[in-house]
Amino acid sequence: MEILGYISAVFIGLSLGLTGSGGSILTVPILVYLIGLNPVLATSYSLFVVGATSSVGGIRFYRQGLVHLRTLLTFGLPSLLTIYLTRLFLLPALPNHLLQLGGVVITKGVAVMVLFALLMVIAAYRMIQHKEVVCPLGREERVGYAKVLTQAVLVGLISGLVGAGGGFLIIPALVLLLRLDMKTAVGTSLVLIAGNSLVGFLGDVYQYRIDWAFLLTFSALSVAGIYAGAAFAHKVNSRILKKGFGWIVLAMGIFILGKELLLK
């Protein structure tokens, strides 16, 4: 199973390189079910992997001038602070046994996986529908910073709890609230995800014993997958591919919900 986990690391990067997003959402399930990590530790490792892979994509978009620097400050700083505090204080403060529903004991690890599975279902729905977020015409009024701040904090909180990048939350916020065009929103989102993930991981460095040899190897395989995917991206229909990947994510999300809630 561990060998399959390493192969899956390449698939994470490959899917990101081919479709431009989405692959990192499989990182936590792969680390938990194939590598055998504790769910909470898996979210920590996932932050590093997601940060490393998103950095590669973010650099490519930056070189093309598709990263909005002011947004990195207005949206990025609140989300960075939130994810750091979530990893450093909130997640460790949660009790290992949260509650009991009938014969099912909801532990912190189970709660993390259930929340992650629900986010997978939401992200999968957006991939399958493939409805590009568009800023409504004729709406040029200035959006209050309170809305931007709320969305940034929400992204930081969710990313901190489940170890995912939250691109499916960030991109709509950048398009609808900050009025960025889609390509710039994607590029800016990748830089935000990279920063959020790596800063969130910093909140864990002194709390867990990190297996750096494994983590760097897994991340390197994922990054290699990005370059391989990017090399073939122009030869495939990214829309069809993303829709197919969405069905995989949906199936995985349903599987996790069933395993964590029904098969315990």
Q: Measure the CA–CA gap between 110 and 131, rounded to whole angstroms.
A: 31
φ, ψ at 100 (rounded to 5°): -130, 125
What's the CA angle centered on 187, arms 29 and 57, to 5 degrees? 55
Both structure tokens of 175: 């398009």
Both structure tokens of 197: 């993930």
Q: Measure the CA–CA gap between 179 and 167, rounded to whole angstroms.
A: 16
Q: Measure the CA–CA gap between 128 and 139, rounded to whole angstroms.
A: 28
Measure CA of the first residue to CA of the last residue in the chain; give whole Å. Answer: 21
Q: Measure the CA–CA gap between 185 and 178, rounded to whole angstroms.
A: 9
Q: Which tens digits make up the pLDDT trace of 210-251?
A: 899 999 999 999 999 888 877 776 777 767 877 888 888 899
Q: Measure the CA–CA gap between 82 and 194, rounded to whole angstroms.
A: 15
3-state helix, strand, coil in the chain (%, to 5): 75, 5, 20
Pick from 66, 4, 60, 63: nearest CA to 230:
60
What pLDDT, on a 0 to 100 scale, did the predictor assign at position 138? 46
Q: Which tens digits make up the pLDDT trace of 118-144?
A: 988 888 887 787 666 555 544 444 556
What pLDDT, on a 0 to 100 scale, did the predictor assign at position 264? 57
Is residue 84 within 8 A of residue 47, CB to CB? The reply is no
C-alpha distances in angstroms, 221 versus 38, 229, 239? Answer: 21, 12, 25
Is residue 249 within 8 A of residue 120, CB to CB? The reply is yes
Q: Is the pTM of this model over 0.85?
A: no
Strands (E), 92-232: 97-101, 104-107
What pLDDT, on a 0 to 100 scale, did the predictor assign at position 153? 92
Which residues of the chain are under the pLDDT cut of 50?
137-141
What pLDDT, on a 0 to 100 scale, did the predictor assign at position 108? 86
